[in-house]
Amino acid sequence: MNKKIAFVGAGSIAEAIVSGIINAKVVPASNLFVTNRENTQRLEELSARYQVNALSDREEVISNADIVVLAMKPYDLEQSLSAIKGYLKEDQFIISILAGVSTERITELAGINIPVVRVMPNTSAFIGFSATALSKGKFAKEEHLLQAEQLFQTVGTTVLVPEKDMHTITAISGSGPAYIYYIVEAMEKAAIEAGLDSNIAKELITQTVIGAGNMLKLSGEEPDILRKKITSPKGTTEAGIEILEKHHVQRIMMECVKSAKERSEELGK
Ligand X SMILES: NC(=O)C1=CN([C@@H]2O[C@H](COP(=O)(O)OP(=O)(O)OC[C@H]3O[C@@H](n4cnc5c(N)ncnc54)[C@H](O)[C@@H]3O)[C@@H](O)[C@H]2O)C=CC1
Ligand Y SMILES: O=C(O)[C@@H]1CCC=N1
Would you list which residues are annotated within the binding site for NADP(+)?
A: 71-74
- Confirm or reject binding of residue 124 to ligand X (CB under 6 A): no
- Look at residue 76 and give the partner it binds from ligand Y, ligand X, none, a contact being a CB closer than 5 to 8 Å depending on partner kind: ligand X
Residues ≥6 apart with Cβ < 8 Å to 136:
103, 115, 116, 117, 118, 142, 144, 145, 163
- Confirm or reject binding of residue 73 to ligand X (CB under 6 A): yes
- Confirm or reject binding of residue 96 to ligand Y (CB under 6 A): no
- Confirm or reject binding of residue 198 to ligand X (CB under 6 A): no
Instruction: Quote the radius of gyration of the chain (alpha carbons, Å).
Output: 21
Residue 119 CB neighbour total at 10 angstroms: 24
Total residues in contact with ligand Y, by rule CB under 6 A: 4
- Confirm or reject binding of residue 176 to ligand X (CB under 6 A): no
Among 55, 67, 70, 99, indicate the residue that binds ligand Y (CB under 6 A): 99
Q: Which of residues 220-259 bind ligand X (CB under 6 A)?
A: none
For residues 246 and 241, what is the distance between their CA atoms, to the nearest angstrom?
Answer: 8
Q: Which of residues 8-27 bind ligand X (CB under 6 A)?
A: 8-14
| Interface pattern 175-194 for ligand Y (x via CB under 6 A) | x-------------------
| Complex with ligand X: residue 58 or 201, whichever CB lies closer | 58
> Which span (32-40, 147-155, 187-195, 213-221) binds ligand X, by CB under 6 A?
32-40
Burial of 66 (0-12, 13-18, 19+ CB in 10 A): middle
Residues ≥6 apart with Cβ < 8 Å to 60:
none
Residue 132 CB neighbour total at 10 angstroms: 25
CB 154 within 8 A of CB 25: no
For residues 101 and 173, what is the distance between their CA atoms, to the nearest angstrom?
Answer: 16
**Please, what is the minimum distance in Å from the beta carbon of residue 122 to ligand X?**
5
Cα dihedral 226, 205, 99, 48, rounded to 10, equals: -140
| Complex with ligand X: residue 20 or 121, whichever CB lies closer | 121
| Complex with ligand Y: residue 5 or 169, whichever CB lies closer | 169
- Confirm or reject binding of residue 82 to ligand X (CB under 6 A): no
| Complex with ligand X: residue 120 or 205, whichever CB lies closer | 120
**What's the Cα-to-Cα distance from 10 to each of 78, 158, 196, 228, rounded to whole Å?**
17, 22, 38, 44
For residues 81 and 139, what is the distance between their CA atoms, to the nearest angstrom?
Answer: 18
The residues binding ligand Y (CB under 6 A) are 99, 170, 174-175
The residues binding ligand X (CB under 6 A) are 8-14, 36-37, 39, 71-74, 76, 79-80, 83, 97-99, 120-123, 174
